[in-house]
Amino acid sequence: MRAFKAFNKNMTCTLGKGSYQYQEGRTYREDEAQAHSTGFHCASYILDCYRYYAKSKDTVICPVEALGDIDEDGSDTKISCTVMKIGKRLTAEQIVFEAMRYMKSHPKYSDLANVHKDKGSDSFFCIVRGKDPAASGTKGTVLGLIRENSRHNITGLAIYKVGCDGIQPGRYYNLEGKEVEDAQS
C-alpha cells in the first residue's frame, strides 16, 4: 500500500515508543501493527501527516510502502503496518501534487486537513479548493488550486510557486495563474 510518513528534520520520529531513527531507502520491520499503539505509522492522504508533525519546512515527508499486517485508524487516513519501506523525501511541490492527486481520486473525502476553502494564504504551501479558488503566499510558497463544481467534483487543478513565472508574493492568483484583485478583501 502506498502511503506517506512524516519525520523530524533529522529523520527521527518521537511519537509512540520514543525516538526512532529512520533512513531513506531502508526497510523496517515490527512485530505488530495497531494504529493507536504499535507498528510503523503512516497515512494514505499526505496532509494527514501534518496532524502529527508541524506543517513546516523542517518536517520531512517521504512516500512509503506499507507492507505486512496493516491496521487502519478509522478517524483519518492513518494506518499502522509491520513492514515499511522508506522512499526519498519530497519537496513542497511534490507534497502539494500528492495531496491534489488524493483529492482528485477521493473527491468526496471531506476531512481535508490543511486545505483552505475558496481563498487562502499561507507559507510553505497553500492549497485552496472551491468554485473559484484563489491563493496567496510568500516567496517560495507552493500554491495548489483546485476548482470544484457544486457537487464537489474536481473540474480543474493547477500548481504555482510564488516568485516564479510572474506569481508575486502577497497577491492572490486563480487557477489560470491570473491575479485576482477582489480576493484580497
For 108-164, how does the pLDDT look when each residue is reduced to its tens digit (9 = 90+)? 777 777 999 999 999 999 999 999 999 999 999 999 999 999 888 899 999 999 999
CA distance 54 to 8: 9
- This prediction has a pTM of 0.92
What's the mean pLDDT in 32-53?
89
Length of the chain: 185
pLDDT at 39 over 90: no
pLDDT of residue 183: 59
Q: Which amino acid is at 127?
A: I
pLDDT of residue 73: 74
CA distance 49 to 99: 11
Distances (CA, A) of 143 to 29, 49, 55, 75, 149: 36, 19, 15, 27, 20
Spell out the residues 6+ positions from residue 39 whose beta carbon is closer than 8 angstroms to its own: 30, 32, 33, 69, 71, 80, 81, 82
User: What's the grid cell of residue 134?
Assistant: 484563489
Look over the chain and give the mean of its residue pLDDT values, rounded to a whole number. Answer: 92
